[in-house]
Amino acid sequence: MKALLLDDTHPFLEQELQEGGLLLVREFQAPLEELVKSHSDAVVLIIRSRMKVDCNFLDQFPLLKVIGRLGAGLENIDVREATQRGISCLRVPEGNARAVAEHALGMLLSLLNHLPRVHRQIQEGQWLREPNKGRELQSLVVGIIGYGIMGSEFAKLLSAMNVRVLAYDKYKSNYTPDGIEEVTLDVLQSQADVVSLHLPLNDETNGYVEAHFLSKFKKPVHFINTARGPIVDTAALVEALDIGTVLSAALDVLEYEKTSFTSLFEGQIPNELKSLFQRDNVLLSPHIAGWTKESFEKMGQGLASKVLKAL
């Protein structure tokens, strides 16, 4: 059986697939028409974010049984169409959940203690203590929206620090362990000092955070997004920062990212993004929350196990 690898993977993944009896073919740059000429007999497809797997793509690989995504999301795969064709669509969110949780925590602590600003001020020769008085995380209420593998891992870290954590998940009930409070969205928006997004990107969540959503918070909040950029309307976030509805923002993902996550955008910088660049109360990172040495290893091993089990 042939496994077609269309992006960089991890040696653990490749080794275990080979030991499981698969013939590996690496084709990182070939266009679709070239892939079809030589590899239409592929049974397994391994991708990351670069390749869009839609109905037309699936038509070219009639023997396909498994699509493995080396990552947490499946938004670049037409899962409904693949499922109707009997193709298993696999992902490994458990592989980088801890990395995402630690990154979100680090960004939040940095903002609560004004680290981006004070670092710049010291570089400029300023030594300002009182204006940069921070907040202790234990004094704040953190609201988590989306209590899947990612959200629950972040909640676990916060709970271990004796932080009060509220969790909202539209599609679950009776899901939180002791120490985490399961609440409605209205309750979360009325009580949270910090809000962290842990949602998949789909038709329902695209643009989920917009002006009306942000206006519903009763207190000014610190905002974290380590999920997907298009979930947040950047213009609405900038406006909320301007009026003080949002006190600070930690963004590992941006609305303007390419779907491959390998670069930001091409062309002129949007005004909303320019505004984020200029703010001391905004901390940005280039979609690396889940990208650590350990998470890459865990995702490789985990995906190989799932692919072989599905076969």
- Confidence (pTM): 0.91
The answer to whether residues 92 and 72 touch, using CB atoms and an 8 Å cutoff, is yes
What domains are there in the chain, each with its CATH number?
A: 2-91 (3.40.50.720), 94-284 (3.40.50.720)
pLDDT value at 63 more than 80? yes
Name the active-site residue from 124, 257, 266, 297: 257
| Confidence band for 52, pLDDT divided at 50, 70 and 90 | confident
> Are 310 and 88 a contacting pair, CB within 8 Å?
yes
Which of 39, 98, 164, 287 is catalytic? The answer is 287
Q: In angstroms, rounded to a whole number, what is the distance separating the alpha carbons of residues 300 and 311?
A: 17
Residue 31 has pLDDT above 80, yes or no: no
User: What are residue 246's DSSP bridge partners?
Assistant: 221
32, containing H or E segment: helix 32-39
pLDDT at residue 13 tops 60: yes
pLDDT confidence of residue 265 = 65
- pLDDT(161) > 80: yes
Query: What stretch of H or E contains 242?
Result: helix 234-243
Confidence of residue 33 (pLDDT cuts 50, 70, 90): confident
pLDDT tens per residue, range 232-289: 999 999 999 999 999 999 999 999 887 655 666 667 888 999 999 999 999 999 999 9
pLDDT at res. 36: 82
CA distances to 169, 236, 281 from 275, in Å: 31, 12, 11
The residues, any chain, with a CB within 8 Å of residue 83's CB and separated by 6 or more, are 89
Give the mean pLDDT of 39-62: 90
Q: Is 19 a catalytic residue?
A: no
Q: How confident is the model over 222-235, as a mean pLDDT?
A: 97
Percent residues over pLDDT 90 in the chain: 82
pLDDT at 202: 92
Does the pLDDT at position 216 exceed 90? Answer: yes
Residue among 69, 222, 228, 255 flagged as catalytic: 228
% of the chain exceeding 70 in pLDDT? 97
Going along the chain, which residue ranges are E strands? 2-5, 23-26, 44-47, 66-69, 88-90, 141-145, 164-168, 180-182, 194-197, 221-225, 246-251, 282-284
Which of 281, 275, 234 is closest to 134 using CA atoms?
Answer: 281
- Taking residues 296-304, report their average pLDDT: 93
Q: Per residue in 162-176, pLDDT tens?
A: 999 999 999 999 999
**Mean pLDDT estimate for the chain:** 93
Residue 209 has pLDDT above 70, yes or no: yes
| Distance in angstroms (rounded) separating the CA atoms of residues 126 and 24 | 57
Predicted pLDDT at 263: 61
Query: Any catalytic annotation for residue 26?
Result: no
Q: What's residue 9's pLDDT?
A: 86
Measured distance CA(256)–CA(264) in Å, rounded: 6
pLDDT in tens, 96-149: 999 999 999 999 999 999 999 999 999 999 999 999 999 999 999 999 999 999
What pLDDT score does 28 carry? 74
Residue type, 94: E
| Residue 228 is a catalytic residue | yes
Whether residue 48 has pLDDT greater than 60: yes
Residue 91 tokens read as: 């992902």
